[in-house]
């Protein structure tokens, strides 16, 4: 595949934006990326979004945003893969530019979740699960993840507090990210004492939703030699894989086979191994998913993902730093936007723009975005050149 570079990045603070519409939020991220890239015109627009039809009463988000941003006439489309919509939109944009039919693409991940009451959002999020065979039983999306976490604890003998380091690390890193939803440190005691959402998942195992958007501009790498003195960031690996949509259909509900497959393909494409990854923005929608993701990508044996947290290997100076800007847990999880936030954050690390949470000498970074309870998983690897 033709080599692609990330020329510009942009993001908005994740929050409850009562004074901003979805249009403005997505537009602000897009304009930031265009300004960062020094481009006023882009050939095409790919929008990653999950909930606009249900929550915002708006379909056709590609054209909705090309109109607002001023890309009149240009090709535009929405891509959806539940919470992996952001990375799925990036991958569609990458393949479009790689095809040679398009010279540049703006990829925007956007979600405006606070326009409806909480129970409406819970119902809309549940559409990521299997409507016929999971939701018909009355289970929510958090409930499905809770079943997986309980099984993991039972199977491998971990206690709830063993998951604390994932959330503590995410909250600590988010303190230095002005775009993060939450700015408060936590410890094991606050983690253990937070309210239950769906046993064993409590409030501090779960990522907060919110309104937010992030954007990147991609172009063929050969078109840019240097990038205003900054390192050139290329997409070295890109892969997507799927599993059954219902958790109960999986041979092993504790193994994220789509994470294994997509990371394997991305490693091969990039010509690297897991040990070459300097920073890993993983999809910690729930603390259990952080553990499963690390295991599937080869950083821990099955059932041992939790120990990476307990052994401080996930910290900024650890073996495999994760959630360096706060992760889903503290940066926030505006679902369809998350995959692009992860890409923006990896790019920031490779540019060396992360201040207090900068990973020293980061040259290769990975982002992994998960749709449903592991049903659609995309892995991207970026390199600084």
Binding status of residue 258 toward its own copies by CB under 8 A: yes
- The question of whether 297 is a catalytic residue gets the answer no
CA separation for the pair 325, 340 (Å, rounded): 13
Q: CA of 86: how far to CAs of 79, 124, 207, 330, 377, in Å?
A: 8, 17, 17, 18, 11
Which of 16, 101, 155, 356 lies at the binding interface for its own copies (CB under 8 A)?
101
For the CB of residue 85, give the shortest distance to its own copies in the complex, in Å.
Answer: 9
CA separation for the pair 337, 15 (Å, rounded): 13
Any bridge partners for residue 356, and if so which? none
- Closer of 243 and 278 to its own copies (Cβ): 243
Interaction residues for its own copies, span 129-168 (CB under 8 A): 130-132, 135
- Which of the ranges 94-102, 186-194, 338-346, 359-367 carries the binding residues for its own copies, by CB under 8 A? 94-102
Which of 109, 309, 339, 371 lies at the binding interface for its own copies (CB under 8 A)?
371
Binding status of residue 114 toward its own copies by CB under 8 A: no
- Which of the ranges 96-104, 151-159, 315-323, 344-352 carries the binding residues for its own copies, by CB under 8 A? 96-104
User: Using an 8 Å Cβ cutoff, are 15 and 25 in contact?
Assistant: no
CA separation for the pair 103, 98 (Å, rounded): 9
Binding status of residue 368 toward its own copies by CB under 8 A: no
Interaction residues for its own copies, span 11-50 (CB under 8 A): 21, 23, 50
| Cα of 37 vs its chain's centroid, Å | 22
CA separation for the pair 214, 223 (Å, rounded): 23
Binding status of residue 312 toward its own copies by CB under 8 A: no
Pattern 216-255, binding to its own copies, x per CB under 8 A?
Answer: ----------------------xxxxxxxxx--x------
Residue 303 tokens, joined: 């059932």
- Closer of 95 and 153 to its own copies (Cβ): 95
Residue bearing tokens 């503590």: 168
- Closer of 257 and 307 to its own copies (Cβ): 257
Which of 124, 146, 291, 343 lies at the binding interface for its own copies (CB under 8 A)?
124
Which string of DSSP letters, residue by residue, matches 278-292?
A: SEEE---SBHHHHHH
Catalytic residue of the set 17, 171, 333, 380: 333
Which of 20, 95, 153, 203 lies at the binding interface for its own copies (CB under 8 A)?
95
- The question of whether 354 is a catalytic residue gets the answer no
CA separation for the pair 316, 278 (Å, rounded): 10
CA separation for the pair 207, 280 (Å, rounded): 17
Binding status of residue 128 toward its own copies by CB under 8 A: yes
Handedness of CA 98, 7, 41, 179 (dihedral sign): positive
CA separation for the pair 281, 290 (Å, rounded): 10
- Closer of 204 and 285 to its own copies (Cβ): 285
Binding status of residue 8 toward its own copies by CB under 8 A: no
Which of 15, 80, 313, 345 lies at the binding interface for its own copies (CB under 8 A)?
80
Binding status of residue 208 toward its own copies by CB under 8 A: no
For the CB of residue 50, give the shortest distance to its own copies in the complex, in Å.
Answer: 6
Residue bearing tokens 């540049």: 104
| Cα of 220 vs its chain's centroid, Å | 23
Catalytic residue of the set 83, 297, 323, 354: 83
Beta 201-202 vs 233-242: how paired, if at all? unpaired
Q: How many residues contact its own copies, by CB under 8 A? A: 68
User: Using an 8 Å Cβ cutoff, are 147 and 310 in contact?
Assistant: no
Of 2, 25, 5, 7, the residue nearest 211 (C-alpha): 25
Active centre residues (catalytic): 83, 333
Q: Which residues lie near its own copies (CB under 8 A)? A: 1-2, 21, 23, 50-51, 53-54, 56-64, 66-67, 71-82, 88, 91-92, 94-96, 98-102, 123-124, 126-128, 130-132, 135, 238-246, 249, 257-258, 261, 371-372, 375-376
């Amino acid at each position: 595949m033709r080599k692609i570079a990330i020329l510009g990045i942009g993001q908005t603070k994740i929050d409850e934006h009562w004074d901003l519409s979805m249009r403005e939020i997505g537009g602000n991220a897009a304009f930031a990326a265009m300004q960062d890239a020094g481009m006023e015109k882009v050939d095409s627009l790919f929008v990653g979004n999950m909930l606009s039809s249900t929550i915002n009463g708006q379909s056709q988000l590609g054209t909705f945003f090309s109109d607002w941003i001023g890309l009149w006439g240009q090709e535009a489309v929405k891509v959806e893969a539940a919470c992996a919509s952001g990375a799925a939109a990036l991958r569609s944009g990458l393949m479009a530019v790689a095809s040679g039919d398009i010279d540049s693409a703006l990829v925007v991940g956007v979600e405006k979740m606070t326009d409806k009451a909480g129970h409406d959002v819970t119902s809309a999020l549940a559409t990521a699960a299997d409507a016929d065979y999971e939701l018909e039983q009355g289970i929510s999306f958090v409930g499905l993840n809770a079943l997986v976490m309980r099984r993991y604890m039972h199977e491998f003998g971990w206690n709830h507090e063993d998951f604390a380091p994932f959330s503590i690390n995410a909250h600590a890193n988010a303190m230095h990210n002005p775009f993060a939803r939450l700015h408060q440190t936590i410890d094991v005691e606050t983690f253990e004492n937070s309210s239950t959402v769906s046993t064993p998942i409590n409030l501090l195992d779960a990522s907060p939703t919110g309104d937010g958007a992030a954007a990147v501009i991609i172009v063929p790498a050969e078109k840019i030699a240097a990038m205003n003195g900054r390192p050139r960031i290329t997409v070295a690996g890109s892969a997507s894989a799927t599993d059954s949509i219902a958790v109960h259909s999986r041979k092993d509900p504790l193994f994220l086979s789509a994470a294994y497959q997509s990371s394997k393909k991305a490693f091969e494409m990039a010509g690297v191994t897991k040990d070459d990854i300097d920073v890993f923005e993983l999809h910690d929608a729930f603390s259990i998913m952080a553990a499963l993701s690390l295991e599937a990508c080869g950083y821990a044996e099955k059932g041992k993902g939790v120990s990476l947290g307990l052994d401080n290997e996930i910290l900024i100076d650890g073996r495999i730093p994760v959630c360096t800007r706060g992760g889903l847990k503290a940066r926030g999880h505006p679902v369809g936007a998350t995959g692009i936030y992860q890409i923006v954050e990896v790019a920031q690390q490779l540019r060396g723009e992360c201040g207090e949470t900068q990973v020293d000498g980061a040259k290769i970074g990975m982002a992994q975005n998960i749709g449903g309870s592991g049903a659609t998983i995309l892995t991207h690897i970026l390199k600084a050149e």
